[in-house]
Structure formats: structure tokens, C-alpha cells
Amino acid sequence: MLHPSYLDLMKVVNSGVEEGETKIVSSRYSIVMATAKRARQLIAGDDALVDDQGGKKKPLSIAVDELEQGKIHILSDEDEEE
């Protein structure tokens, strides 16, 4: 089982959204795509933004931790266009 859960990650990502605004993430797919993209960046040589326990953690686990801790952000479609 993935810890944290998808629901927990969606709450973290959407925490800055005001009541009535469109949520940044509304599906598990968005979480999966964002963490997979970040994992590929880590594999390509980007530095981890969280403790990787001396290289013991896998890139996907690091990406999930970064998202959970708010070190990386998922941009909405509107933000990407700007």
C-alpha cells in the first residue's frame, strides 16, 4: 500500500485552493503522472529535495515524499500556460 494515500496527497496539493475555485488535482492520475515525471528527473541526475537516506530510497519514493512535504508543486493547466 502506498503511504501516504492518494487522498492525502491530493489534500496536500489542493491545500492552497480557495473554496469554490477549481482544484489543481482531482484524480489519482494527476498524482501518478507528477510523481513519475519527478522520479524521471531524479534518475536523470536532479538532486533530491528531501532526505534520501543515503541513496537507499528509490526515485519514486523520493518523489512522493517531496510532493507530500510540499517541496514540489503540481501546476494547474492555467499556470502552465503562463
Q: Which tens digits make up the pLDDT trace of 4-48? A: 887 888 888 888 777 777 877 878 888 899 899 999 999 999 999
Domain with 33, as residue range(s), is: 6-10+25-81
Q: Residue 18 falls within a domain, yes or no?
A: no
Which residues neighbour 60 within 8 Å (Cβ) at sequence distance 6 or greater?
35, 36, 39
Q: Residue 19 falls within a domain, yes or no?
A: no
pLDDT at residue 80, as a whole number? 55
Q: Residue 20 falls within a domain, yes or no?
A: no
Domain count, the chain: 1
pLDDT at residue 48, as a whole number? 93
CA angle 50–54–60, rounded 5-degree value: 55
* Res. 51: pLDDT tops 80: yes
> Does the model's pTM come out above 0.85?
no
Q: Residue 70 falls within a domain, yes or no?
A: yes
Q: Residue 16 falls within a domain, yes or no?
A: no
Cell of 73: 508543486
What CATH number should be reported for the domain holding residue 55?
Answer: 3.90.940.10
What would the mean pLDDT of 55-78 be, rounded to a whole number?
85
User: End-to-end distance of the chain based on CA atoms, in angstroms?
Assistant: 36
